[in-house]
Amino acid sequence: MARSLDGLVLAPVADQAPGQVGTRTRFEYHERDGRIWAEYAGGDVVRGHLVGTRRADHLDFRYVQLKQDGATSSGHCLSTVTELPDGRVRLDETWEWESQEGSGTSVVEELLN
């Protein structure tokens, strides 16, 4: 199992569609006893939160966010945690909106200090 996500800051490696999470978005993760949560913001996202569970290297969480235009949206995501050769954490994500149409994949990686 890859190391704990607690205290890590991650960012997407590529931009998604306009008005969504992008390379300027930062996720600050927390983890305790199989539970994960994070706060995120940046780019088109004013504030976002996610909450879910971790079993081994698999995350299952729901997210909700407020965008710059005042719209809110929510969805569900399944992620696989891997460790990169340089020791940083990477999440390979498959997500689906629940409040609107759309789904996709994304990759977020731990930022270097």
Query: What's the pLDDT score for residue 17?
Result: 67
Domain count for the chain = 1
Domain of residue 75, CATH code: 2.40.128.30
Residues in the chain: 113
Run of H or E including 67: strand 58-67
Q: Structure pTM? A: 0.93
Pick the closest to residue 70 from 110, 19, 113 (CA basis). Answer: 19
Q: List the structure tokens of 78.
A: 């399944």
Q: Is residue 40 part of a domain?
A: yes
pLDDT digits (tens, 9 = 90+) for 17-72: 655 788 999 999 999 999 999 999 999 999 999 999 999 999 999 999 999 999 99
Q: Is residue 32 part of a domain?
A: yes
pLDDT digits (tens, 9 = 90+) for 57-109: 999 999 999 999 999 999 999 999 999 999 999 999 999 999 999 999 999 99
Q: Is residue 93 part of a domain?
A: yes
State the Cα–Cα distance between residues 113 and 110, nearest whole angstrom: 9
Pick the closest to residue 95 from 74, 78, 80, 70 (CA basis). Answer: 78
Q: Is residue 44 part of a domain?
A: yes
Q: Is residue 1 part of a domain?
A: no
Assess contact for 93 and 78: CB atoms under 8 A: yes
Expressed as residue numbers, the domain containing 72 is 9-110
Q: Is residue 91 part of a domain?
A: yes
